[in-house]
Structure 1
Amino acid sequence: MAAERRFAGVRNALILLLLWEVIGQLGLVAGGALPPPSDILIRLWQDRGDYPGHIIATLQASVAGFVIGNVVAVAAGVIFALSPPMLRLFRGINIAAFALPPIAIAPILALTLSGMAPRITLAALGVYFVTMTATVIGIAQADSRAKDVVRAYGGSRWQVLRLVQFRGAVPSILAGLRIAAPNAVLGAILAEFGGGGRWGLGTYLLGSLGRGEPDRLWGIGLIATLIAGLSYAGFALLSRKLLGATKAVTLNAAVPTGKGDSGPLWARIGMALASVALPFALWWALIKLSGAPSMIAKTPGDVFTYLFLAPSAETAQAKLLAALAQTLPITFIGMVAGLAFAFALAILSKLSPRFISGFMPVALITQTMPLVALTPLLVLILGRGTSLTLWITISVTFFPAFVTLAQGLALVPRSAEDLPRAYGASRWTELRMVTIPASLPYLFAATRLTVPRALLGVMIAEWLATGRGIGNLLNQSRGYLDYGMIWSVAAVSVILSVVFYQLVVVVERRVLGRLGMATSE
């Protein structure tokens, strides 16, 4: 069966390449904006001398950021899973780290840090939140009965963590690493694209954008896709090898006793205020420790002054509000569409594994090809309107959500799914009554992952193509060296992501609390 699925995937990929070749040779898409694969391969061969230095530079930043970000993420995830107060305290920092728009902070990092540090930083930020969330989910969903058995035989807290919780979290962590690997490559390339430097695929891409050579742009994008795709495939293979040894065979009927936001009202209010204040305190401390000039590096106080107290504050507010009015509606639509698409694909992965095997090569390309390379080509195909923004937003959001949802559906024990089938239930009834409810924590986790990425996708489209919204405002501000607006856009985008994220958390807590399931936030 596995061999048949692999054959189906290879067959579908070959069919796709053949159609691509025909369409490209005939120039059916925007007058040659989609070159045939043969032309791309010829250009890759002609440019073969250019690639080694750029690939090595991107790999160095990606690997370093991947390792650093994931080590910190797993350690933080363990701490947060074992200590809900720590999770609530650092909630603001965690969301802010994930929601920071790379296109906004790349030039700032380039000005305040030196060498490879900006690229490594963005790569690490790109992987941290995904892996940390996966670790918290995996540990929080550990089988409470197995923990009770270890405790009954005198096991310590460390032994419970090592023998039950962390082992049970391995599939979830590996699913997070699969998402994190392409994110590390994208983070490094965005830093190269926005931060200058001589070497790197992002730098090579930036130098090629104005030449009107789509075959070279596609070549750069496909090389980056290959790097990210191989890293994804490596962790997918590792996950497949280990999943059989860690998957539960029965459904945990025990209700986890999560403490949630318990305690006196004053303590909960204090924790909430500390969670909000901590990111701003860290922001201020990093600016002061970096020693960057105040004209470039803005503290929270500087941003507040720029937006509310400076003589030009009213003009700045008007620009920002007008841009937000253009960005937020399309962000919400793209988020819902991306999540719905991911959910439909996850259900199909249960109902028709062959279809998903054939679809995965296309999904990997849309996920791993750098959007800064793909967007100029999509402009020629789709124009600069809403359809372009929706396409980019859905492509940014659906894949991490799909991987998380598919992992949750796959971890539902077969014995639990067989029960309604034994009573004559249809496949859909089985999904509706058992599989989907049992994987609800992963659905909410996918939604939390989708919220900041939807805003990032819209900003990238606005920044590179549509000339609207806060992405375009950010681009204009960079051209005018208006650092106050650059920092304001970054701060507002993070605050919006935190607000949307918290709304999802509130809904998750209410729904899973009523169902007697553990939350993972």
Structure 2
Amino acid sequence: MADDRAASGHALRNVLILLAIWEIVGRFGLVAGGALPAPSAIAARLWIDRGDYPPHVAATLIASGLGFVIGNLAGIGAGIAFALSSTLLRIFRGVNIVIFALPPIAIAPILALTLSGMAPRITLAALGVYFVTMTATVIGLSQTDSRAADLIRAYGGGRYDLLRLVQVRAALPAILSGLRIAAPNAVLGAILAEFGGGGRWGLGAYLLGSLGRAEPERLWGIGLIATAIAGLSYAVFALLSTRLVGATRAVTLNAALPEDKAAPGSLRHRLTIAALTIALPFLLWWGFIKLTGVPEMIAKTPFAVVDYLVLSPGAESARAKLGAALMQTLPITFVGMAAGLGFAFLLAISSKLFPRAIAAFMPVALVTQTMPLVALTPLLVLVLGRGVGLTLWVTISVTFFPAFVTLAQGIALVPRSAEEVPRAYGASRWSEMKLVTIPASLPYLFAATRLTVPRAILGVMIAEWLATGTGLGNLLNQSRGYLDYGMIWSVAAVSVLLAVVFYLIVVGVERRVLKRLGMATAE
């Protein structure tokens, strides 16, 4: 308890020091000619604009709240179904990976084209929530105490009794952790839909309408309000989790799908499952188009996208545009993700050597974890301009903090008894890290990489959309202006496919490396 109070005191002191430095820098215009205003100036602007915020905040809260409820109901229901049926889990594996990997900025225009009213915002918020809650539910249900399960069976309990009396109760901590991470995701999804799909009300729409004005204080105010909403949503479920199941330091969630432990069937059975796994995302895409009833000129099925890129008279020109945009997006994505992961790994290792570092740094990690990217990017544009440096900075910032938290938690879980073995032979602290801590943390490094893949692509595309005028993000934005619906759907499909391929590559490398080292994989 005393250690927790000391850590909180250090964190508060660091925050106050940061605010004081920020105030001095802002007052004297030391960054980008005043593009970073002082906190007092931002607060003054918030007071002036106080009448503007209620309808915008209400719209965002309603959309994110409804999406949060719908996405969590779907995630918990799917998690229970997947925990009960490994075959169902394998069939939906492709859909689950696509939902996890899709960059929301890529499908926001799609939802705006095919849905009306607040439906795009609610849908994107629900998609941002589903995967986290589903994964937490399956993992929680799968980690049941076998002795309790045996006791239920010994008294004649069936599958439903085991689920109701043992598994659901045992899964509660994991589900609450999932809800805590899902809450900021719902806010981010709603704001991205507001930003990408237009509309009058919502913080995303307010931010979009304020971008053209030379008022950095207003932009910072909107960004901080969005961050505060996301942070408060996280804090509510963190408090609820603490009250119900005890304190926990977890601030992120493993991005892996649960391990499939089902015994392999016949070759025909395995091929059927594989075919369904691959085909199901495309069938859902096609079914979504048909159910919405949107005209074919606007809504493109998978076959229409193939026709646009391969068979139509303008296919060669479309492929050239798409290829050029890809060549601009991919390099900065790789560089930013590698730099963010490398920096996160070094700092996580340093936090083991200097334990107070993680306690002091965690508030910054939490703020960045909850800050909506679409609110962060315009603020960085004011400070860094619109060049490649901005895109790289955004990519590093959005990949670094989740990776750092995941790695730091993994390193903290390395058994102390394992670390004491080299120490007993006189090894130095660095030798101990090299021989025990770093190898033991490899699964968390891969988990952090899986977690950062879609965030890196999302960060790059948002920067391209808002600032740089290059890459897939800019092509998506231009296509909306030209009403080039085929290109809109093509960019969305390619960006999702790209994220899925990156995810699967990481999973493949993880399996190979951890198998060689004799470690279990989480995927």
TM over 0.5: yes
Residue matched to 1:285: 287
For residues 132-166 of structure 1, give each alpha carbon's deviation from its aligned partner in whole angstroms, at most 9, with x where no partner exists.
23344445566667767876787655566566655
More displaced 10-residue stretch of structure 1: 97-106 or 440-449:
440-449
For residues 168-196 of structure 1, give each alpha carbon's deviation from its aligned partner in whole angstroms, at most 9, with x where no partner exists.
55444444333322221111111111212
For residues 39-66 of structure 1, give each alpha carbon's deviation from its aligned partner in whole angstroms, at most 9, with x where no partner exists.
0000001111111111111111112212
Deviation of the 1:222 alpha carbon: 0.5
Deviation of the 1:78 alpha carbon: 3.6
For residues 78-110 of structure 1, give each alpha carbon's deviation from its aligned partner in whole angstroms, at most 9, with x where no partner exists.
433443332221122112223333223223322
| Identity between Structure 1 and Structure 2 (%) | 75
Residue matched to 1:198: 200
- Is 1:227 aligned to residue 258 of structure 2? no
More displaced 10-residue stretch of structure 1: 220-229 or 329-338:
329-338
1:60-459 matches, cutoff 5 A: 60-140=62-142, 157-158=159-160, 169-240=171-242, 259=261, 262-348=264-350, 350-409=352-411, 440-459=442-461
Do the aligned partners of 1:179 and 1:400 also contact (CA within 8 Å) in 2? no
Do the aligned partners of 2:241 and 2:247 also contact (CA within 8 Å) in 1? no
Distance 1:246 1:34, change over 3 A: closer
Equivalent-residue separation in structure 1 for 2:430 and 2:176 (angstroms): 28
Distance 1:488 1:215, change over 3 A: same
What is the SS of the residue equivalent to 1:267?
helix
More displaced 10-residue stretch of structure 1: 172-181 or 192-201:
172-181
State the TM-score, normalized to the length of structure 1.
0.88
Residue matched to 1:253: none
Equivalent-residue separation in structure 1 for 2:175 and 2:276 (angstroms): 28
Distance 1:94 1:84, change over 3 A: same
Instruction: Extract unaligned runs of 5+ from structure 2.
Output: 250-257
Deviation of the 1:420 alpha carbon: 6.8
Equivalent-residue separation in structure 2 for 1:412 and 1:15 (angstroms): 33
Do the aligned partners of 2:259 and 2:522 also contact (CA within 8 Å) in 1? no
Residue matched to 2:486: 484
Equivalent-residue separation in structure 1 for 2:80 and 2:319 (angstroms): 41
Do the aligned partners of 1:331 and 1:455 also contact (CA within 8 Å) in 2? yes
For residues 381-419 of structure 1, give each alpha carbon's deviation from its aligned partner in whole angstroms, at most 9, with x where no partner exists.
223333211211122223333444445455566676677
Equivalent-residue separation in structure 1 for 2:248 and 2:45 (angstroms): 46
More displaced 10-residue stretch of structure 1: 157-166 or 37-46:
157-166
Equivalent-residue separation in structure 2 for 1:504 and 1:134 (angstroms): 21
Equivalent-residue separation in structure 1 for 2:45 and 2:502 (angstroms): 44
Q: Which amino acid aligns with 1:18?
A: A
Residue matched to 1:508: 510
Do the aligned partners of 1:61 and 1:119 also contact (CA within 8 Å) in 2? yes
For residues 23-52 of structure 1, give each alpha carbon's deviation from its aligned partner in whole angstroms, at most 9, with x where no partner exists.
001111111110000100000011111111
More displaced 10-residue stretch of structure 1: 467-476 or 499-508:
499-508
- Is 1:465 aligned to residue 467 of structure 2? yes
Deviation of the 1:441 alpha carbon: 4.5
Distance 1:336 1:149, change over 3 A: farther
Residue matched to 2:498: 496
Distance 1:81 1:222, change over 3 A: same
Equivalent-residue separation in structure 2 for 1:350 and 1:216 (angstroms): 40
What is the SS of the residue equivalent to 2:34?
coil
Q: Which amino acid aligns with 2:391?
A: T
Do the aligned partners of 2:207 and 2:222 also contact (CA within 8 Å) in 1? yes
Distance 1:238 1:403, change over 3 A: farther
Distance 1:71 1:400, change over 3 A: farther
Equivalent-residue separation in structure 1 for 2:199 and 2:499 (angstroms): 30
What is the SS of the residue equivalent to 2:211?
helix
For residues 450-494 of structure 1, give each alpha carbon's deviation from its aligned partner in whole angstroms, at most 9, with x where no partner exists.
212211111111111111111111111111110100000000111
Q: Which amino acid aligns with 1:236?
A: A
Do the aligned partners of 1:127 and 1:181 also contact (CA within 8 Å) in 2? yes
Distance 1:257 1:90, change over 3 A: closer
Deviation of the 1:220 alpha carbon: 0.6
Give the RMSD, CA atoms, in angstroms.
Answer: 3.2
Equivalent-residue separation in structure 2 for 1:419 and 1:517 (angstroms): 19
What is the SS of the residue equivalent to 1:134?
helix
Residue matched to 2:252: none
What is the SS of the residue equivalent to 1:27?
coil
More displaced 10-residue stretch of structure 1: 427-436 or 289-298:
427-436
Do the aligned partners of 1:186 and 1:370 also contact (CA within 8 Å) in 2? yes
Residue matched to 2:17: 15
Equivalent-residue separation in structure 1 for 2:298 and 2:436 (angstroms): 54
For residues 254-288 of structure 1, give each alpha carbon's deviation from its aligned partner in whole angstroms, at most 9, with x where no partner exists.
xx996368333443333222211111110001101
Do the aligned partners of 1:171 and 1:243 also contact (CA within 8 Å) in 2? yes
Deviation of the 1:445 alpha carbon: 3.1
Residue matched to 2:255: none
Q: Which amino acid aligns with 2:119?
A: A
Distance 1:232 1:331, change over 3 A: same
Distance 1:336 1:237, change over 3 A: farther
For residues 429-460 of structure 1, give each alpha carbon's deviation from its aligned partner in whole angstroms, at most 9, with x where no partner exists.
66666666666554433322221221111111
More displaced 10-residue stretch of structure 1: 74-83 or 469-478:
74-83
What is the SS of the residue equivalent to 1:296?
coil
Deviation of the 1:17 alpha carbon: 0.5
Residue matched to 2:46: 44
Do the aligned partners of 1:91 and 1:275 also contact (CA within 8 Å) in 2? yes
Do the aligned partners of 2:340 and 2:400 also contact (CA within 8 Å) in 1? yes
Distance 1:286 1:295, change over 3 A: same
Deviation of the 1:321 alpha carbon: 1.0
Deviation of the 1:116 alpha carbon: 1.7
For residues 198-240 of structure 1, give each alpha carbon's deviation from its aligned partner in whole angstroms, at most 9, with x where no partner exists.
2111111111111110000000110111111112223334445
State the TM-score, normalized to the length of structure 2.
0.88
Do the aligned partners of 1:175 and 1:407 also contact (CA within 8 Å) in 2? no
Equivalent-residue separation in structure 2 for 1:150 and 1:269 (angstroms): 36
Do the aligned partners of 1:96 and 1:494 also contact (CA within 8 Å) in 2? yes
Do the aligned partners of 1:261 and 1:268 also contact (CA within 8 Å) in 2? no
Aligned residue-pair number: 513
Q: Which amino acid aligns with 2:111?
A: L
Equivalent-residue separation in structure 2 for 1:188 and 1:353 (angstroms): 37
Equivalent-residue separation in structure 2 for 1:150 and 1:463 (angstroms): 56
